[in-house]
Amino acid sequence: MSLEQSWVESANARDHDFPIQNLPYGVFSPLDRPDAPPRCCVAIGDMALDLAAIEEAGLLRPGGARGVFAAPALNDFMALGPAAWEAARARLTDLLREGGARDLRDDAALRARALVPLSRARMHLPFRVAGYTDFYAGRQHAWNVGVMFRGPENALPPNWLHMPIGYNGRASTVVVSGTELRRPLGQLKGPDDAAPRLGPSERLDFELEMGAVVGVGNPMGRPVSVSEADEMIFGHVLLNDWSARDIQVWEYQPLGPFQAKAFATTISPWVVTRAALEPFRAPSPPREKPLLPYLHEPGPMLHDVRLEVALAPEGGEETVISRTSSRELYYSSAQQLAHHALCGCAMQTGDLLGSGTISGPERDSFGSLLELTWGGKEPLTLKGGARRAFLQDGDAVVMRGWAQGEGWRVGFGECAGRILPAPDFAG
């Protein structure tokens, strides 16, 4: 099969994150025009294609709607639904492919206006996060955390093999890659302490996850099937569910994580569409317990997205500390969404569903420091010799992900964040 090429040369480089097969959506503003309002774009090679400019030139009008891209978020476009997403993707592919429509390729003035080098683009949060739910769908992670928090007899809760477990997180603190975050304060209580104290978390961690972005919702009171749920998903992002393990162990019973995960969640600036990930579908693993019919998958609903996590101390070189794949998940995002809506919960455009931490079976494929250092007892040694049990101030965590074709890939770019010292607050 000869692979589709773009006239934007950089998109054709082997294993570039953003070839023409990808076209992930984001929101940007030009670095050299700080006052310019953010607007929607797609990435093509080393460039951001300004979709507001393309729309203004009359080259793109998804679903017949005007002005959906001249907005600081993808929500209006996402709300148009799957037929409009498909039409926009087909049109953009034609405008950008070698031998396709000439309207953009042959218009030098429009090209100069609409194609902005990514090195000169500031990326913003790609969509207004309506709600954030975090699941727990990685079997290896659930097992590892369960063993550390509750012991091997009670590691996997009895409901885990029957439904995707989740909790409602905070939409207000979902931030885009590159945003620095403050070490959280919280109640801390060691196993031998008589009473809790207030202090900065001493066991600050990351969690490697994917996030599914809901494009269209369901009305309150109307559940959806797994296939309907799949159609409602616009795309996926990389997601770091930052976690304060010391706050978590003291607070999490009986209602689950609260402050331990509410201070920040970082996502990649690019939403990779479900359409772009279609060639990389993968089946979920064999069911250990039969699922109720409403959770049955009509076909392969996971994706094989290769994932890695790198850790870099302030001013130091980064070390890749974990490599795994999103096909390690036990429940797909379509199953999670169907389960979420089952009770009649209305899902909305812009809802973000964290997959749960993705850990593979081997020690070097675990998706959190809690697991990689086994509760902090076996610190990692980084390049340059620094040792880490948990994150220190100044540390940067960088997650990367891509689905690999032969010589080409569908990449997510980076999901990165750096830790700043805790705020000065004594109450």
Ligand X SMILES: O=C(O)/C=C/C(=O)CC(=O)CC(=O)O
DSSP state letter for 341: H
Least CB distance to Mg ion at residue 241 (A): 4
User: What CA–CA distance (Å, rounded) separates 386 from 382?
Assistant: 5
Q: Is 141 noted as a catalytic residue in this protein?
A: yes
Site size toward Ca ion (CB under 5 A) is: 3
**Of 42, 84, 145, 185, the one binding ligand X by CB under 6 A:** 145
Asked if residue 250 binds ligand X (CB under 6 A), the reply is no
Shortest distance in whole angstroms from residue 395 CB to ligand X: 20
Q: Is 207 in the site for ligand X (CB under 6 A)?
A: yes
Find tokens 């070490």 and name the residue: 183
- Give the one entry of Ca ion, ligand X, Mg ion, none that residue 50 binds, where binding means its C-beta sits below a cut-off of 5 to 8 angstroms depending on kind: none
- Specify which residues 282 forms β-bridges with: 302
Dihedral Cα 149, 200, 364, 375, nearest 10 deg: -30
Under the binding rule (CB under 5 A), the answer on residue 328 touching Mg ion is no
Relative to beta strand 174-176, strand 265-267 is parallel
Select which of 16, 141, 339, 340 is catalytic.
Answer: 141
User: Does 209 sit near Mg ion (CB under 5 A)?
Assistant: no
State the amino acid at position 163 in one-letter form: M
Alpha-carbon distances, residue 140 vs 23, 296, 306, 357, 360 (angstroms): 32, 21, 17, 9, 7
Q: Which one of Ca ion, ligand X, Mg ion, none is in contact with 145 (Cβ closer than 5 to 8 A by kind)? A: ligand X
Alpha helix (H) residue ranges in 28-181: 51-56, 75-78, 82-96, 108-114, 139-150
Is-contact 209 396, C-beta < 8 A? no
**From 209-217, 264-272, 286-294, 302-310, span contacting Mg ion (CB under 5 A):** 264-272
Q: Is 351 in the site for Ca ion (CB under 5 A)?
A: no
- As a dihedral over the C-alpha atoms of residue 26, residue 304, residue 142, residue 347, rounded to 10 degrees, the angle is 40
Angle 324-329-333 from CA coordinates, rounded to 5°: 125
Ligand-binding site membership of 76 (annotated): no
Out of 17, 76, 205, 241, the only residue in the binding site for Ca ion (CB under 5 A) is 241
Sole window of 10-18, 142-150, 190-198, 223-231 interacting with ligand X (rule: CB under 6 A): 142-150
Q: With CB cut-offs between 5 and 8 Å by kind, which of Ca ion, ligand X, Mg ion, none does residue 138 bind? A: ligand X
Q: Which residues are within 8 A (CB) of 385 and not within 5 positions of it... i.e. 6 or more apart? A: none
Which of 12, 56, 81, 149 binds ligand X (CB under 6 A)? It is: 149
57, two tokens = 């030139």
Q: Which of 50, 209, 241, 414 binds Mg ion (CB under 5 A)?
A: 241
Q: Least distance from C-beta 97 to Ca ion, angstroms?
A: 38
For ligand X, which is the closer residue by CB, 160 or 408? 160
Strands 181-182 and 409-420: parallel
Binding residues for Mg(2+), by number, are 241, 261, 265
- Interface positions with ligand X (CB under 6 A): 134, 136, 138, 141, 145-146, 149, 207, 241, 252, 257, 261, 356-357
Catalytic site positions: 141
Residues that bind Mg ion (CB under 5 A): 241, 261, 265
Known binding-site positions for Ca(2+): 134, 207, 209, 241
